[in-house]
Amino acid sequence: MREFTNPAPAAPEATGGLADSLYDTADRTPGLVQLSRRTADGRWQDVTAREFRDQVLALAKGLLTHGVRYGDRVALMSRTRYEWTLFDYALWSIGAITVPVYPTAAPEQVRWILAETQAVACLVEDEDAAMTVGAVCDALPDLTGIWQLDRDCVTVITEDGRGVPDSLVHRQRLGVTAGNVATVVYTSGTTGRPKGCLITHANLAAEGDALLAGWGDVLRDTGGTQPGTLLFLPLAHVYGRAVQIAAIRGGFRIGHVPDVSTDALLPALESFRPTFLHAVPYVFEKIHQQARRAAEDTGRGELFEQARQVAVEWAAAREQKAFGRGPGPSAGLRLRHLAYERTVYPRLRAVLGGRVRSVMCGGSSLRRELGLFFTGAGLQLYEGYGLTETSAAITANPAGRQKLGTVGQPVPGASVAIADDGEVWVRGGTVFAGYLNHPQCTADSLVDGWFATGDLGRLDEDGYLTITGRKKDLIVTSSGKNLAPAALEERIEAHPLVSQCLVVGDDRPYVGALITLDPAALSHWLKTRGREQLDPWAVLADEELHVEIQRAVAAANTAVSRAESIRAFRLLPREFSQEQGLLTPSLKLRRAAVAEYYAADIEELYLS
């Protein structure tokens, strides 16, 4: 087993609960802006550490009057918004355990999570979510309350707690230890029914403090303004929670955006003007595609492509220099980069508010070329890797030594090892306590402090990790050839027209692929050819379109041997969706479900 450990000292081990840092900050710097709430007219209203502490304390007292007790589990079923953070810290203040539930979850998923966790109450956002929970209430004998945000439940619960002394909350809070479970976060369920991960206060504190230890100085380098981030990651996902906790512990300003559509997110970025962001690759893919289409629509497509290529070359040369493997950008490249720095790159950064300097990216793999492009355009991009079981990031690219295309080195205080079969094993303070009600799965996954991730990867000579696939996703053709499909899928999805790709071939004579197209990109492609009057999906059999996608497949095949290459593909008339049951709430493919849903299409790939 090959191992790499980050010897950088992490923060001192936490001794209390996550809520303690909130109260400590309010005592030390009561006027510090901790959060900003968006008002109905789109403005941002600042909330100081003292004001937020007082709101958390008042809500915690109300929760006690509603029967929530130390150790109780309470579900939070909402999009990312201010009230989620408020409830998180109020519940932790009285020693309760939060259970995130995606607001898009189906009734059966909601029933399963609330029943297994024995949740005593559930916070929902609106009437639709309340009806979803209400529809399964008969199977939930422990559930005694449903609180609805759009019915102003915060005010109601807070008012109910007015007569409760502050000291009662503080006694509960001081009884919370770092080893207590803080939250039960369910896995995405790509290979079966989701499992609840028991994540302790110490796990999440270690995650937040590792991010601050490794990247705090970078995030604080803002030119004099307070560091701030706009949180649009789902707080039902552990990544979003980790960002929330790191920001609260680091004294950074947080804003929330519940709607991640372009029409909602871009104005929020423009008005909030964050200094750093955490996002998933999907966001950067969309920004890149939108920027390219906008340039083409105004006749500047060639200029954008030249600027993109210069950014990639400049960032790659800088990366080589950082590792002592090259002289850095040439004089000519520096001059070309400077020219685009005055004309093109500021426009791209303006889309993110104009003040973003650093971006942390995780959740899935980011294409190296895309990472180089954004870095060359003036955004320091740090790709990382983690799982629900590791409380979010367990590796990330270190400040000043990014190696794009990899997910970096272990975060401070963590270790990564590669087993003989290529599986990635990790160890550190962020590794969870186990699976709820699954002792055998816990025993199989946690061995002598190491967690077996189920992912395949490799470590390079500098200790940087590259994820190559999932063990359970391995395809074995009828000739006995093993293939991890992720690399092929990611390369095909890099084509502007492609939305999703699923590589198939288990027990088949060769490898095939199901491909979906991006509707906006397809419409744009038709428009540039003077065929915008056509129904985009009516051209799936179009010869020119197939030639275009065949180029993407051929380019992807250059990365593998002939035995591993895609020999046939099929274009599908719609994207894989959650409504079909083909995507998890975090937008990961449910491979088995896709294969079953499109079984007939897969069969046609192998008809000779």
Four-CA torsion 207, 211, 212, 217, nearest 10 degrees: 180
The structure tokens listed for 163 are 């007569």
**Which pLDDT score, from 0 to 100, does residue 28 have?**
96
Mean pLDDT of the chain: 91
pLDDT(89) > 70: yes
pLDDT band for position 511 (cuts 50, 70, 90): very high
**Which pLDDT score, from 0 to 100, does residue 423 have?**
94
Q: What is the pLDDT of residues 290-347, one digit of tens each?
A: 888 888 888 898 999 999 999 999 999 999 999 999 999 999 999 999 999 999 999 9
Hunting for tokens 């309470």 — which residue is that? 74
Cα–Cα distance, 320 to 402 (Å, whole number): 10
Nearest to 382, CA basis, from 406, 402, 352 = 402
Which residues are CB-contacts of 19 (< 8 A; sequence separation ≥ 6)?
56, 89, 92, 93, 173, 176
Residue of 541 and 265 predicted with greater confidence: 265
Residue 150 exposed, middle or buried by CB count within 10 Å (0-12, 13-18, 19+): exposed
Tell me how many degrees the CA angle 418-420-422 measures, rounded to the nearest 5. Answer: 55
The structure tokens listed for 176 are 């919370």
**Which pLDDT score, from 0 to 100, does residue 607 have?**
81
Percent of the chain with pLDDT over 70: 97
The structure tokens listed for 115 are 């029943």
Contact (CB, 8 A) for 180 and 205: no
**Which pLDDT score, from 0 to 100, does residue 391 have?**
97
The structure tokens listed for 309 are 């290529």
Q: Strands 358-361, 423-427: parallel, antiparallel or unpaired by DSSP? A: unpaired
Cα–Cα distance, 211 to 215 (Å, whole number): 6
Hunting for tokens 């590794």 — which residue is that? 431
Ordered DSSP codes for 371-385: HHHHHHTT-EEEEEE
244: alpha, beta or left? (left if phi > 0; alpha if psi -120 to 50): alpha
Any idea what DSSP says for residue 237? S
Other residues' Cβ atoms within 10 Å of the Cβ of residue 189: 15
**Which pLDDT score, from 0 to 100, does residue 487 have?**
81
Q: What is the pLDDT of residues 422-480, one digit of tens each?
A: 999 999 999 999 999 999 999 999 999 899 999 999 999 999 999 988 888 888 887 67
Nearest to 278, CA basis, from 296, 254, 297 = 254
Q: What is the mean pLDDT of residues 525-530?
A: 83
Q: Strands 121-124, 145-148: parallel, antiparallel or unpaired by DSSP? A: parallel
**Which pLDDT score, from 0 to 100, does residue 165 have?**
97
Long-range own/partner contacts, residues 558-567 (CB < 8 A, 24 or more apart): 559/487, 559/488, 559/491, 560/483, 560/487, 560/488, 563/477, 563/479, 563/481, 564/481, 564/483, 564/488, 564/511, 565/511, 566/488, 566/492, 566/503, 566/511, 566/512, 566/513, 567/510, 567/511, 567/512
**Which pLDDT score, from 0 to 100, does residue 502 have?**
93
pLDDT band for position 10 (cuts 50, 70, 90): low
Other residues' Cβ atoms within 10 Å of the Cβ of residue 114: 25
Tell me the whole-structure pTM to 2 decimals: 0.86
Q: What is the pLDDT of residues 35-72, one digit of tens each?
A: 999 998 889 999 999 999 999 999 999 999 999 999 99
566, amino acid identity:
I
Q: What is the pLDDT of residues 553-590, one digit of tens each?
A: 999 998 887 878 899 999 998 999 888 888 887 777 88
pLDDT(190) > 60: no
Residue of 587 and 118 predicted with greater confidence: 118
**46 pairs with which residues across the strands?**
36
Show the domains of the chain with their CATH numbers: 275-470 (3.40.50.12780), 474-605 (3.30.300.30)
Cα–Cα distance, 395 to 386 (Å, whole number): 7
- Exposure b/e, 531-549, CB count within 10 A at least 16 = b: eeeeebeebbeeeebeeeb
Cα–Cα distance, 492 to 501 (Å, whole number): 7
